[in-house]
Structure 1
């Protein structure tokens, strides 16, 4: 027994003599594994952080934080509850503002239907969403006859759990609320319904506003933009049984005079209306395709160039290029403008309404 114990001890001793190198190797492997895991986790964290939107979704339908500049490639708002069928809808995205305008018919039998709005457009909604720190009321247009639009003053029940204020004006209801800290949404509802119904509809629309991060991919591409051209806004207009218009504004030269609106800007887009022959336009061809060119020379040349037979599978689509006076030098003459308009083409999936629908 003693001998066995001794031999066992010797085995242990012999084994122990080789133990430290194996232990160090095991620890090194373990440490290396931990380092790899940490590195992978850190890499994934950085990757997901960079890919994640600047804002975070919340269960309340809004967001936890607002950006200081909007991404023109993302549609951030969806309207979930409207008073009736939609007849027209527009969505404009700028770096500092999202603007939604939508109108339609009422589903109820309001006795005042048709006072000043036709039965086809018995309600109208305008929603403005500003970036963090911006005053959403500064985007309210000024009317020379009636002055600035009503600015909300009266504190009312929260919207989406966020503090809100309201203003009343004839057939309008204005609600404004914080959709994130230091960032506001302003909604104006116009309808000829009763005052009680207006209040109900305004609250219904406001509570139905939802935050999302849907990519807003333009349904077209264009070749030949001037070097350094920067997209400044996107615009979509939809009409029931009417044309669909999608466009983007590009700044094509440095701004020399901030008071010269719109500056060196061109608008590129498509619509589903016919080419037609507007008064004052010339019927021309470019690359074998029918086109029109209209140029007015007042304080500067404004050019509107439309080209039919748009490539990409939309027989009724027309490409359009609008050139502001300050952008003329960056684009060139009529032939240059027509070539640029003719380079507009549809992209795959352009007919998919999920790419642009926001209600």
Structure 2
């Protein structure tokens, strides 16, 4: 595990890219994004770090309703040997089965920061990707959906990408996960300039899950109806098995902020001390969520804590 070091402030130019990143430390930052993209999520993972920016096609009401995206831009920096154009190969049938990552989609275009680059545009023009090999066997890409002027926009984003090695910080005090669970990812989601949901994802020992088994975090502006149980004397929402467990009235938070523990797989349930029937796991999930505490002023990012 390691982090990618910036050299010469040159678009993540480096000769020492690890096979795994540290999920808890940033890998890059951007100097520019289209201003109309209002929902931003930075995700640190072992195999890649990404920032997704979107403009909603509609804004949901309060609660857990998902956001439907009208326009999306995703910036991805991969660890050594990672195919950062994987989403394109899944979206567009004409790319299915194409080689990766030594032959990126599209045609060769002008270099990005003196690095070989390729531009791909889907036949209907709705999707585009600018990818470049920023180091030996390591790739970065900017992908877009429904983005006007995509070739120009993607290049402007790519040219403003620089390496970063700061800790990823969050607005809550870190809660130790169950024993034998390791951190796999950290995600910080913002909407209209405010944090919306922040969480860490964990992989249980021996689990085959590709993305993790448990999540621990916080969400603001939750209004999912009255709780179906209590935890530590506070309103709570129990999934009763696999699913998301929530506890309200988080100390120091606005009324609609909840702590969340997501139980994604049976391995995650077992790590909490439960089984497929959720015996014990549901109580442990709520107890874990009830331990989450926010920093003194969660809207002041200067006081956020490293994950």
TM tier, shorter chain? 0.7 to 0.9
Q: Are 1:329 and 2:279 matched, yes or no?
A: no
Structure 2: unaligned runs, 5 residues or longer: 57-67, 99-103, 274-279
Aligned to 1:293: 238
Distance of 1:154 and 1:144 partners within structure 2: 16
Q: Are 1:73 and 2:14 matched, yes or no?
A: no
* Structure 2 residue matching 1:177: 3-state secondary structure: strand
Would the alpha carbon gap of residues 261 and 243 (structure 1) be closer, same or farther in structure 2, given more than 3 Å must change?
Answer: same
* Structure 2 residue matching 1:62: 3-state secondary structure: coil
The match for 2:13 among 42, 63, 70 is 63
Q: Are 1:190 and 2:150 matched, yes or no?
A: no
Would the alpha carbon gap of residues 224 and 275 (structure 1) be closer, same or farther in structure 2, given more than 3 Å must change?
Answer: farther
- TM-score, normalization by structure 2: 0.78
Structure 1: unaligned runs, 5 residues or longer: 1-51, 106-119, 296-300
* Structure 1 residue matching 2:117: 3-state secondary structure: strand
Distance of 2:191 and 2:108 partners within structure 1: 35
The match for 1:221 among 165, 169, 173 is 173
Aligned to 2:33: 82
Whether contact under 8 Å (1:173, 1:199) holds in the other structure is: yes
What's the offset of the Cα at 1:147? 6.4
Distance of 1:235 and 1:335 partners within structure 2: 25
What's the offset of the Cα at 1:338? 1.2
Would the alpha carbon gap of residues 56 and 200 (structure 1) be closer, same or farther in structure 2, given more than 3 Å must change?
Answer: closer
Give the greater-gyration-radius structure (CA): 1
Aligned to 1:158: 111
Aligned to 1:212: 164
Aligned to 2:60: none
Whether contact under 8 Å (2:230, 2:236) holds in the other structure is: yes
After superposition, give the CA deviation of every residue in 1:26-65 in whole Å (9 maximum; x if it has no partner).
xxxxxxxxxxxxxxxxxxxxxxxxxx96524313242323
* Structure 2 residue matching 1:294: 3-state secondary structure: coil
What's the offset of the Cα at 1:159? 0.6
Whether contact under 8 Å (1:275, 1:291) holds in the other structure is: no
- TM-score, normalization by structure 1: 0.68
Which structure's residues are more often helix, by fraction? 1
Root-mean-square deviation over aligned CA pairs: 3.1
Distance of 2:163 and 2:297 partners within structure 1: 24
Structure ranking higher on relative contact order (CA contacts 8 Å, 6+ apart): 2
Distance of 2:254 and 2:287 partners within structure 1: 20
The match for 1:178 among 133, 137, 154 is 133
| Worse-superposed segment, 218-227 or 170-179 | 218-227
Distance of 2:34 and 2:289 partners within structure 1: 39
